[in-house]
A = this chain, B = another copy of it.
């Protein structure tokens, strides 16, 4: 018992005793069992669950890093679950995190169905959404200015004289993709241009799929003179198609896309990118979670205390130009 007090820095211990305990603990290499602690304390396990679709995508790894940097400061740890786009895996993962009594969940849901997250929230596990808004339940969330960023990038292409601008994006179920499509469409409308469905290709998740889709667009009878891509996977894929076209003597095609990425300056092609701080996205999500944990007390369902209303943070975007000169 006294040992327990010492190791928790309870002041109610005689300094001499404390030292003896400390010495003994050190000698034995003793560390308290965190599993037993969290069981007794009734709080969560001191873990924050992070649910992403693909850690290999730098967007998600930066996000994870941002989350972890804040989470660690609160003495918690991050459990990363990778779902690989599989909705079933995501459901299982979330349920398991809840069973493990994580203190909170930060998720970038893959699809539109968020009932599993709603269930987690209902069981008293605070949920923060990153990059997608909550659907059908209340939760904090951190968004990127998808609409604005896409709008600005597209508008810039228009201002440079492009009238036929293709769109490459993720599957329609992904919120960011559709928001960015909206931004693209709005910029066209504002310029008095119609959205030509034949120039819109949604559904590419990996660069090679995007290369294929871009090549399709560029092979049309009336091909676009510029492409706007809704994420880094599509931009990289489209880049390869454009480069191939150019090296086979075809016309220059302008390229713009959402997400900045490493080596974007080195591709030998002018490139307009919508940049934002993806670490900050993670940090902001973790901060929202921390606030909520402080407000409601970790682990327990809201016990009487007033629940703060859901908050939403929007991370701003900016346009970056890469000259592509060599």
Contacts and interface: CB of A to CB of B under 8 A. Distances in A.
A247 B325 contact: yes
A138 interface: no
Nearest to A97: B77
Contact of A326 (B58, B81, B95, B268): B268
A61 interface: yes
Given A68-B82, A266-B243, A326-B247, A99 B61 contact: no
Interface of A: 29, 31-36, 38-39, 45-47, 54-56, 58, 61-62, 64-65, 68-69, 77-82, 95-96, 98-101, 119, 122-123, 236, 239-240, 243, 247, 262-263, 266-268, 325-326
A34 B236 CA distance: 42
Contact of A55 (B34, B54, B61): B61
B45 A55 contact: no
Contact of A99 (B31, B80, B239): B31
Contacts of A96: 34, 77
A119 B29 contact: yes
A157 to B, nearest CB: 21
A47 B101 contact: no
Nearest to A61: B61
21 contacts: A29-B123, A31-B95, A32-B99, A33-B39, A35-B38, A39-B39, A45-B45, A46-B100, A55-B61, A55-B65, A58-B58, A58-B61, A68-B82, A69-B82, A77-B79, A77-B81, A78-B79, A236-B262, A247-B325, A263-B266, A266-B267
